[in-house]
A and B are shown apart, each in its own frame.
With several copies, the nearest count.
Chain A
Amino acid sequence: MAELGAEEIDTQNADEEAIRVTDLRKSFGTLEVLKGVSLTAHKGDVVAIIGGSGSGKSTFLRCVNFLETPSAGQIIVGGEEIKMRPDGSPADRRQIERIRTQLGMVFQAFNLWTHRTLLENVIEVPVHVLKVPRAQAIKRAEELLDRVGLGDKADVFPSFLSGGQQQRAAIARALAVDPRVMLFDEPTSALDPELVGEVLTVIRDLAAEGRTMLLVTHEMKFAREVANHVVYLFEGRIEEQGPPAEVFGNPKSARLKQFLKTVG
């Protein structure tokens, strides 16, 4: 059923490109982490990125919103190409700032602002970047915190929270900016199965609203249920990609077969 739902969305918006990455490369010193990755996501697509530890998944997400400067490649968000200098750094700071407000990100290490309470973390960007009236932002933030089950922790500072609570807060923070594209870096790593299920629901809802998602995950079951496109990264290259049914059901590459074996 999940796949059915996903495909439905896919066909609906197939025309409108939300994000297109072409031949993205990234090196740290002599270590080439991304060796030319190309990927296109249409409006409402949920793209799951899977792959071994250190294969470059986080680096890829971080390059998409220029937290790392790519060594080469082209990134187009909502039809607008991000202007790059020859060294890969963004040429137009305004542009990159504008585009980033359309890209909500949930970090692998959560990165909540430790000097602000949960509520303040969530309203920070809406109020100060998007200029949403404060009262309205607070109302929405409270809804979001409730939705991720943290309604009673709104006034707590992040360092006093459990891992899963921090991760949920990070998700709420990303949702609060109403992004067109969501970048999730292992959004369920610290969550128990029950909460994973809830995040799944959230992601499905978002997709139904026409939002696009790039989603790094280690949980194949989750990927299979939520994504309509799966990308398998291996040592900085896309080794295989396709609809989940195919990638999981009928993997072609030997490495992917090996990777999936343990999942059973």
Chain B
Amino acid sequence: MEPLLELLGLAKSAELLSLSPPGWGGNLLRGLVNSLQIAFGAFGFGLVIGLFGAYGKLYGGVVIRDLLAIYTTVIRAVPELVLILILYYVGTDLVNKIAQAFGYGRVEISGVFAGIWVLGIVQGAYSTEVLRGAIQAIPQGQIEAARAFGMPSLMLMRRVTIPAMMSFAVPGLANLWLIATKDTALLAIVGFSELTLETRQAAASTRAYFTFFLAAGALYMMVTLFSGAAFNRIEKWARRGQPSLRGKN
């Protein structure tokens, strides 16, 4: 009954969640902003990698295809936590050693930068696969028509391939975006204070576990709902021109 009572102890919860100290609401919001910042950067960076990766996998030479296969397999296979530990610690260790060898002092690598970099590389591997699948789902004729009219490949990508694949790619990309917002939690390990870490700290310091975890859940839900609405619009736009399947027998 304890957690339930705690859940119902709304007055106490409101006090704990108020925006200025001693309430922890401000901390949670700050964490959320940090999370979104990194998620946004990483998602965008990942999309760029993914686009080139998908193209490389579909149209690249053998060497490029093999290298991309290794990239997507390794990055997608290794848990992000391990990647972050390795890329961040070993990476900064190396940078520092090099800097010291040249007579410079310790280099600080900012959490935001490292986070975007590391998560972006991870996201890129997934985007590659999502976009590759979407490109393959485009009816061949659509691309051929563009080729036949002499569209340069970059323009073909921009004007035909990307809009035509959108309807196939959007659900997968929406998943990736949500994963990005939540993967930022892993950056807690490098001391980056995003939403999950702020939540855990608030919860452990006040022992009000239910209050804070539900509050964090609600914040995540809000992000999801907002981005869901955005992705819905994108998908609807991407599907324009395709007859709806709904209501067909």
B150 at the interface (CB under 8 A from A): yes
Choose among A96, A114, A116 the residue with the greatest number of B CB atoms under 10 Å from its CB: A114
User: Are A105 and B149 CB-contacts (below 8 A) given A114-B241, A159-B242?
Assistant: yes
Q: In the bound complex, do residue B141 and residue A160 qualify as a contact, i.e. CB atoms below 8 Å apart?
A: no
Q: Which A residues lie within 8 Å of B141 (CB)?
A: 107, 109-111
User: Which of A99, A113, A117, A160 meets B150, CB within 8 Å?
Assistant: A99
Q: In the bound complex, do residue B148 and residue A67 qualify as a contact, i.e. CB atoms below 8 Å apart?
A: yes
The binding surface of chain B is classed by DSSP as: helix
Q: In the bound complex, do residue B145 and residue A157 qualify as a contact, i.e. CB atoms below 8 Å apart?
A: no
CA–CA, A116 to B163, complex, Å? 9
Q: Which B residues lie within 8 Å of A160 (CB)?
A: 243
A41 at the interface (CB under 8 A from B): no
- Of the listed stretches B32-40, B48-56, B117-125, B151-159, name the one at the interface; the rest are far from the partner chain: B151-159
User: Are A113 and B148 CB-contacts (below 8 A) given A129-B155, A159-B241, A159-B243?
Assistant: no
Q: In the bound complex, do residue B249 and residue A96 qualify as a contact, i.e. CB atoms below 8 Å apart?
A: yes
Q: Name which residue of chain B comes closest to A125, CB basis.
A: B149
Residues of A64-96 contacting chain B, CB below 8 A: 65-67, 89-90, 93, 96
User: Are A100 and B150 CB-contacts (below 8 A) given A105-B145, A113-B145, A128-B155?
Assistant: yes
CA–CA, A105 to B151, complex, Å? 13
B223 at the interface (CB under 8 A from A): no
Residues of B122-172 contacting chain A, CB below 8 A: 139-142, 144-153, 155, 159-160, 163-164, 166
CA–CA, A115 to B142, complex, Å? 10
- 0 or 1 for each of A176-190: is its CB under 8 Å from B? (1 = yes): 010000010000000
B238 at the interface (CB under 8 A from A): yes
CB proximity of B12 to chain A, nearest CB, Å: 54
A124 at the interface (CB under 8 A from B): yes
Q: In the bound complex, do residue A158 and residue B241 qualify as a contact, i.e. CB atoms below 8 Å apart?
A: yes
A112 at the interface (CB under 8 A from B): yes
Q: In the bound complex, do residue B147 and residue A100 qualify as a contact, i.e. CB atoms below 8 Å apart?
A: yes
User: Are A104 and B149 CB-contacts (below 8 A) given A96-B249, A113-B142?
Assistant: yes
Q: Which A residues lie within 8 Å of B249 (CB)?
A: 66, 89-90, 93, 96
Residues of B44-70 contacting chain A, CB below 8 A: none
CA–CA, A100 to B152, complex, Å? 10
B246 at the interface (CB under 8 A from A): no
Q: Which B residues lie within 8 Å of A110 (CB)?
A: 141
Q: In the bound complex, do residue B242 and residue A114 qualify as a contact, i.e. CB atoms below 8 Å apart?
A: yes
CA–CA, A115 to B240, complex, Å? 6
Q: Which A residues lie within 8 Å of B152 (CB)?
A: 93, 97, 129
Q: In the bound complex, do residue A113 and residue B164 qualify as a contact, i.e. CB atoms below 8 Å apart?
A: yes
Residues of A31-77 contacting chain B, CB below 8 A: 62, 65-67
User: Are A115 and B164 CB-contacts (below 8 A) given A90-B249, A93-B249, A128-B151?
Assistant: yes
A101 at the interface (CB under 8 A from B): yes
Q: In the bound complex, do residue A67 and residue B150 qualify as a contact, i.e. CB atoms below 8 Å apart?
A: no
CB proximity of B185 to chain A, nearest CB, Å: 37
User: Are A115 and B144 CB-contacts (below 8 A) given A97-B152, A104-B149, A129-B150?
Assistant: no
Q: Which A residues lie within 8 Å of B155 (CB)?
A: 128-129
CB proximity of B216 to chain A, nearest CB, Å: 39
CA–CA, A60 to B163, complex, Å? 30
Q: Name which residue of chain B comes closest to A61, CB basis.
A: B148
Q: In the bound complex, do residue B144 and residue A67 qualify as a contact, i.e. CB atoms below 8 Å apart?
A: yes
Q: In the bound complex, do residue A101 and residue B243 qualify as a contact, i.e. CB atoms below 8 Å apart?
A: no
Q: A105-B145, A107-B144, A128-B155 are in contact. List 10 more A-B contacts (CB 8 A).
A: A67-B147, A67-B148, A93-B249, A97-B150, A115-B238, A115-B240, A115-B242, A128-B159, A129-B149, A177-B149
Residues of A participating in the B interface, judged by any CB pair closer than 8 Å: 62, 65-67, 89-90, 93, 96-105, 107, 109-117, 124-125, 128-129, 157-160, 177, 183
17 CB < 8 A contacts A-B? A97-B152, A100-B148, A100-B150, A101-B150, A103-B148, A103-B150, A107-B144, A111-B141, A113-B145, A113-B146, A113-B160, A114-B142, A114-B241, A116-B163, A129-B149, A159-B243, A160-B243
Residues of B participating in the A interface, judged by any CB pair closer than 8 Å: 139-142, 144-153, 155, 159-160, 163-164, 166, 238, 240-243, 249
What are the 8 tightest A-B residue pairs by CB atom distance, in nearest-first order? Answer: A100-B150, A111-B141, A157-B241, A101-B150, A105-B148, A111-B145, A125-B149, A97-B150
